[in-house]
Structure 1
Amino acid sequence: DGDGTYDARSAPELVRRLVVDELDMVVGARRSSDPNAYRHGHRAGNWLFNVGVRMLFGREVRDIFSGYRVMSRPFVKSFPALATGFETETELFLHAVSLRLPFAELQTAYGARQRGSHSKLNSIRDGTRIALYMLRLLKHVRPLVFFGMLTGIAVLIGLLLGLPVVFEYLETGQVLRFPTAFAAASVFVIAAVCLSSGLALDGVSMTQREQKRLVYLSVERWRRDPPC
């Protein structure tokens, strides 16, 4: 980001942490007491996404959308960079999580924008895009979790539809609401398909992680100067 909101004086410390602690990414977690530093609703939005990431991916993070980052050569060379907009920060985080790469966050000062500049971020549009992209990455990185959630939803719907029919059959000995029974059975079939898809794609995801890991391990951490 070249909008003057990040403190450039923090850069040496970010690099030092990367080198000394042998990390693959150090993120400058934004900290600001200036009420004008964030647009209306952005603090709450950032907090909500941070909580969502912690719940979905099991990793504590304070500022997933920070644009102030230092990364190692192996991290950069193995990063696919598929995102095209504000989803890039999310993709960087999930790349580190999926390959179990060491990273850390370091608090850095964050100030208000310079006069005459404006943010290109549209809170609703880009927030929705990021949320959908996060779910898409969850499907690729942890497909069993993604399809497991769909399975749980389908099972719940199937029970809501099917249990009244079952109780009615136990009382009367007849299926009086055949369309509802058929719908419940269909939903349970969908649940089974979702679960089997998650199990199959989990194996594919593991293979992809292994390939990325091999690329990561094949890159020298420090570039060696060519002999004179």
Structure 2
Amino acid sequence: MTLAQPRIAVLVPCYNEEAAVATVVANFRAALPAAEIYVYDNNSRDRTVIVAREAGAIVRSERRQGKGHVVRRMFADVEADIYVLVDGDATYDAPSAPGMIDKLLDEHLDMVVGLRIDQSQAAYRLGHRTGNRMLTGFLAWTFGRDFQDILSGYRVFSRRFVKSFPVLSDGFEIETELAVYALELSLPVAELETPYYARPEGSFSKLNTWRDGFRILGTMLKLYRAEKPLRFFGAIGVLLAVVSVLLSIPIVITFVETGLVPRFPTAILSMGLMIMAMLSVSSGLVLDTVTRGRREMKMLAYLSQPAPKRN
């Protein structure tokens, strides 16, 4: 009896990628002949849909603009055992996909990230590279574990990762959210070096270095507040308490020396800041309990799906 092979789905989010999408479909068809290739169009104004369909991909649409919306729809709609998520700009190396899948299965992982290795100076703009390093460092500092390339658009997932992941982001912040989810649940993940090429002629990056960089940083702060509320609100509480004490020192000295409180408004401000500090720490304690409950629910959803394995 022949054992069934794991179902593999290649998920390609696209927006105005007429110049690249046919190449992406053809390359992944050659690298993963048994895989189903899904191209999800995100309101393209060029011939992306027509080109993708002619190339043999299964084409679907997501009308809400933003990569996060597209990934949410992909993860919800597509049924498979292994998912390959890759941007539709022909910059990622399709022949690396089998190796990434083998690593996922052999090491019983839930996510393998394609660590981009530039093949030309034009492949990875300096601003994007610098921003990626800064955001990656911030993620390592806040969540205690390290990724080398959190913004890579090339990833392989297990089914239990995909079907338990609650996508909340709208745009390019989705890569950050994927990394934080894996770190918070201590999921087994890895990175694998893969070539990264320049975009083909006629294809243009939709990522704005400053605008999307600040959005990604904002997403990190929101996720840090949501996943580690005691640290977040505790730090605010400590800061407010320190300011309160500093403001109160001259008032206390004057009171000890004269028995008077001449800076009454400052005394009120100091007392108010200390009350806010106590409320901030109390909020962090309450929200930390809520977060633990949410994390347990995420883990139960994750464990309800079968582990990745070779059939």
What TM-score does the superposition give when structure 1 sets the normalisation length? 0.92
Taking CA–CA contacts closer than 8 Å with sequence separation of 6 or more, which of the two structures ends up with the larger relative contact order? Answer: 1
2:285 matches 1:199: yes
Q: Given the alignment, which residue of 145, 157, 160 partners 1:71?
A: 157
Structure 1 outlier segments of 4+, above 4 Å: 222-225
Amino acid at match of 2:221: L
The structure-2 alpha-carbon separation of the partners of 1:112 and 1:167, relative to structure 1 and needing over 3 Å to count, comes to farther
Q: Given the alignment, which residue of 255, 262, 275 partners 1:169?
A: 255
Indicate the SS of the match to 1:107. strand
Distance in 1 (alpha carbons) for counterparts of 2:226 and 2:123: 34
- Greater Cα offset, 102-111 or 33-42: 33-42
RMSD: 1.8
2:189 matches 1:103: yes
Q: Given the alignment, which residue of 201, 204, 223 partners 1:137?
A: 223
- Greater Cα offset, 146-155 or 60-69: 146-155
Indicate the SS of the match to 2:206. coil
Amino acid at match of 2:306: E
CA contact (8 A) 2:105 2:310 kept: no
Q: Which residue of 2 aligns with 1:146?
A: 232
Distance in 2 (alpha carbons) for counterparts of 1:108 and 1:153: 44
Q: Which residue of 2 aligns with 1:187?
A: 273
Aligned length: 225
Distance in 2 (alpha carbons) for counterparts of 1:55 and 1:105: 18
Indicate the SS of the match to 2:163. helix
Distance in 2 (alpha carbons) for counterparts of 1:190 and 1:94: 29
Q: Given the alignment, which residue of 13, 17, 29 partners 2:115?
A: 29
2:135 matches 1:54: no
Shift of 1:136: 0.8
Shift of 1:102: 0.7
Q: Which residue of 2 aligns with 1:8?
A: 94
Shift of 1:161: 2.2
2:241 matches 1:155: yes
Shift of 1:106: 1.1
Q: Percent identity?
A: 49
Amino acid at match of 2:265: P
User: Structure 1 regions of 5+ residues with no counterpart?
Assistant: none
The structure-2 alpha-carbon separation of the partners of 1:112 and 1:196, relative to structure 1 and needing over 3 Å to count, comes to same
Distance in 2 (alpha carbons) for counterparts of 1:158 and 1:63: 41
The structure-2 alpha-carbon separation of the partners of 1:50 and 1:224, relative to structure 1 and needing over 3 Å to count, comes to closer
Over residues 67-103 of structure 1, what are the superposed CA-to-partner deviations in whole Å (9 max), with x where a residue is unaligned? 1100111111110111110111111111111111110
